[in-house]
A = this chain, B = another copy of it.
Amino acid sequence: MTPGQTLARGVCRHLRGYNFVTIEEFVPTAGLRVDVMALGPKGEVWVIECKSSRADYHSDNKWQGYLEWCDRYFWAVDEAFPTDLLPPDSGLILADGYGAEIMRMPSEAKLAAARRKKLTQMFARHAALRLQALRDPGVGVNGIS
C-alpha cells in the first residue's frame, strides 16, 4: 500500500462509525480520481483526499475540481503533516492505517438532485463491479476476462 492508501484505509474504517460506506479511487468524471468517496445513511456524498506529505499536497492541482462532486470535502493527513498548508475552511481528518478522527467538519454545499442521483448510481456500479471481481475471479472489472 502507498502512504495515501494507508491513510484511506483508516479513513474508511472511521467513517463506518458514522454509518458511511466508502469506495476508493473513484472517478466521478473523466480526468478526476478521488481517493475516498463516502455515501452516508441519508445519501450524503463526501469526498476525502488523502495527502501523505507536503509534496503530495503541492502536486495536486485538481482538488478544487472535486468540490462540485460532493456535499462535503475533506483532507486526510497524518499527524506529521503541516496542516497550516490546507485551506482553513475545508474538512480535516487526522488518519493513520488503523483509524482516523474528524478534526474539522466542513460546511455543506449540497449537490443538485440530478447529480446526486447520477453519482449514487455510479458509486453503486463501481462497488458492485469490484465486489464481483473479488467474489468471482472469472469476471474482470470490465466484464468477462
Q: Which residues from chain A sit less than 8 Å from chain B, CB to CB?
A: 9, 12-13, 16-17, 21-24, 39, 43, 98, 117, 120-121, 123-125, 127-132, 134-136, 138-139, 143-144
Contacts and interface: CB of A to CB of B under 8 A. Distances in A.
11 contacts: A9-B136, A17-B144, A21-B128, A22-B132, A98-B138, A120-B121, A123-B124, A127-B128, A127-B131, A131-B131, A134-B135
B123 A21 contact: no
A16 B123 contact: no
A128 B17 contact: no
Contact of A144 (B13, B123, B130, B136): B13
List 8 A-B pairs, minimum CB-CB distance, nearest first.
A127-B127, A124-B124, A21-B128, A127-B128, A131-B131, A123-B124, A21-B125, A16-B143
Nearest to A99: B144
